[in-house]
Amino acid sequence: MLGVGIDVGKYSLDLARHDQPAVTRFENTPSGMARLLHHLALWPEAWVVLEATGGYELPVLTALVEAGHAVSRINPRQARNFARARGQLATTDALDARALADMAHCLFPKLPRYVAPAVWQTTLASYVSRRAQVVLTIQQQTQQLQMISLAPLRALALASLNALQQERDALDACIAQLAAPHLTPAWRSIKGIGPVVQATLLSQLPELGALSRQQIAKLVGVAPLNRDSGTLRGRRGIFGGRSAVRCVLYMAALVAVRWQPQFKAFYQALKARGKPSKVALVASMRKLLVVLNARLRDERLAAAASPNH
């Protein structure tokens, strides 16, 4: 397999092959991406790897998928660990592109192939992301308001806060409208999984219902990871995963362990065994995710087996 790496920057795209030392730079613009795709058309058997870079990678990622290329988007931590494992301690755009190319060549059988989300998922994810920004700003504004004593300044701050709250309410209505056509009974079967949680999972965890319980827990970052070596049995802990999904799962689990009998009994049983509250709550997050994953899987299997399908 021909490994190709693309180091994505705000203004540039650095393209490298695993079997060539040269690195080609393109502008991170529509015309630059067109030239990059024309260049890649000469290598139809290539597997392309690029890093997640906070959204800068999305246009080129979409263009690669639409052009039919096999491409994987990886966590930057994975890329850095791989580069260090091959003895590369320095970092430049060219060096990073070559490391990604080597990674594509060596690990392509184990790298998940990127599948572009549906348009509605992309739109919903944008609304969910904006809502998170607004909610954070509301929290900051509320705290700042307590320190403002001058009446004119306080009035201005209150006006800003009211505007933000109105925007949040408008976003909530839009999110509910966008998510509604895609919510099945399984999504409404657990108390604690409200509109914001549903929208976040729909848009940022499309794998729900398609993976095993172990895979979905590890993907989100709520699976306990072993730390054993020889006779040592280390303390298990969670690591990595999708932080935005974990944040909403945390709030959902808080509600579920209080109002949903199944999760309440599970949480209390862990506490009775001496588990710390935080450990018991993370375990409840994992259970909630696994239960929802199983219900969605069963729902889809039942729909596929239905004669009316």
State the pLDDT at residue 308: 67
Which residue reads 């695993």 in tokens?
Answer: 18
Q: Would you say 33 and 13 are in contact if contact means Cβ atoms under 8 Å apart? A: yes
Averaged pLDDT for residues 90-107: 93
Q: Which residue has the tokens 């590369």?
A: 88
CA distance 235 to 106: 32
Q: Residue 224: which pLDDT band, with cuts at 50, 70 and 90?
A: confident
Q: Please state, rounded to an integer, the average pLDDT across all residues of the chain.
A: 90
Q: From residue 60, give the alpha-carbon distance in Å to each of 93, 117, 287.
A: 16, 14, 36
Quote the pLDDT of residue 309.
Answer: 57
What is each CA distance from 166 to 62, 132, 134, in whole angstroms? 33, 14, 10
Cα–Cα distance for residue pair 131/171, rounded to 1 Å: 6
**What are the pLDDT digits (tens) for 19-31?**
999 999 999 999 9
Share of the chain above pLDDT 90, in %: 69
Mean pLDDT value across residues 167-173: 96
Q: Alpha carbon of 95 to those of 7, 9, 21, 64, 82: distances in Å?
A: 9, 13, 10, 22, 12
pTM, rounded to two decimals: 0.82
What is the band of 151 on the pLDDT scale with cuts at 50, 70, 90?
very high
